[in-house]
Amino acid sequence: MTDTDTAVATAHASGNAATDKFKTARVSCDTSPERAGAIYRDVLSALGEIIHRHEVTYDEYRVVKQWIIDVGEYGEVPLWLDVFVEHEIEDVNYSRNALAGTKGSIEGPYYVANAPELPSTCTMPMTEKDAQATPLVFSGQVTDLAGNGLAGATVELWHADEDGFYSQFAPNLPEWNLRGTIVCDDEGRYEIATIQPAPYQIPHDGPTGWFIESYGGHPWRPAHLHLMVKAPGKEAITTQLYFAGGQWLENDVATATKPELILDPKAGDDGKNYVTYNFALDPEA
């Protein structure tokens, strides 16, 4: 029996699932030897400077060496990098491309490509238990920078359930639970019925959690929706949306919140929360 067969979601199990999914698409890039050398030299010289500044001891060095081995063995490389490093990569790429549309945010380790298509007005696949949570009706439009609706737009949405679990990374959830590719109408509009997600603790019973514990931190992310928005001839964006007044907004373990990405849903008379958010996409570079 593997960890994912058990009823308990562990960092080990979700970490290994994230590692396996990442490995299925072998990535490559055309970085020149000159650029690679310049980056490596800077990384090593920054590391050397930090070691000297803090007078790192041999015991500390050995503990870090053991911890890096553990991160690999627990399958937590995607988890640790996406919590502590991805936000810098996202930030520098948004600035470098001088994008003017909706801000991006980190993808994180739990994206799965090819989620089943849903029509522009739809209900996300959810369990009976999910259906007891506060309903959230999320609507809006995908536009160009001038506000014109975009035909052919899609909105991929994925988020955790009320217990903080993502389908395909926790046991006993339907494969595509709370995941879908919404095919917008001819004007880029969508209306998605889902549930209000809860704040979420990244898996922290493995080496990523030991790392956080070692500096007295916490493993919480504020409640969020993940989105990947695409339209023909436009730059795709990967982003997240958060909730006004939500816990951990100011203190996200993954440093991935932005003021432009905060929703403020209003409660309707029918007990559902309603919110509108539009996505503006830059022209393809």
Residues at the site binding ligand BEZ, with contacts judged by CB under 6 A: 79, 82-83, 106, 108-110, 202, 221, 254
The single-letter code of the amino acid at 116 is P
Q: How big is the site for Fe ion, counted in residues (CB under 5 A)? A: 1
The C-alpha atoms of residue 153 and residue 239 are separated, in whole angstroms, by 15
Q: How far is the CB of 118 from ligand BEZ (least distance, A)?
A: 21
User: Is the separation of the CB atoms in 173 and 117 below 8 Å?
Assistant: no
Q: How far is the CB of 110 from ligand BEZ (least distance, A)?
A: 5
Nearer to ligand BEZ, 4 or 141 (CB): 4
User: Is the separation of the CB atoms in 140 and 277 below 8 Å?
Assistant: yes
The C-alpha atoms of residue 206 and residue 76 are separated, in whole angstroms, by 8
The single-letter code of the amino acid at 57 is T
Binding partner selected for residue 17 from Fe ion, ligand BEZ, none, CB under the kind-specific 5 to 8 Å limit:
none
Nearer to ligand BEZ, 106 or 228 (CB): 106
Q: How far is the CB of 219 from ligand BEZ (least distance, A)?
A: 9
Name the segment binding Fe ion (CB under 5 A); options: 14-22, 70-78, 104-112, 145-153: 104-112
DSSP H helices in the chain: 11-24, 33-54, 58-73, 77-84, 86-96, 207-214
User: Is the separation of the CB atoms in 227 and 156 below 8 Å?
Assistant: yes
Q: How far is the CB of 137 from ligand BEZ (least distance, A)?
A: 22
Q: How far is the CB of 255 from Fe ion (least distance, A)?
A: 13
Binding partner selected for residue 83 from ligand BEZ, Fe ion, none, CB under the kind-specific 5 to 8 Å limit:
ligand BEZ
The C-alpha atoms of residue 200 and residue 68 are separated, in whole angstroms, by 25
How far is C-alpha 111 from the chain's CA centre? 7
Binding partner selected for residue 80 from ligand BEZ, Fe ion, none, CB under the kind-specific 5 to 8 Å limit:
none
Nearer to ligand BEZ, 106 or 195 (CB): 106
Q: How far is the CB of 35 from Fe ion (least distance, A)?
A: 31
Nearer to Fe ion, 14 or 273 (CB): 14
Nearer to ligand BEZ, 179 or 221 (CB): 221
Binding partner selected for residue 246 from Fe ion, ligand BEZ, none, CB under the kind-specific 5 to 8 Å limit:
none
The single-letter code of the amino acid at 96 is R
The DSSP line for 203-219 is P-SSHHHHHHHHTT---
Beta pairing class for 220-221 and 200-201:
antiparallel
Residues lying near Fe ion in the complex (CB under 5 A) = 108
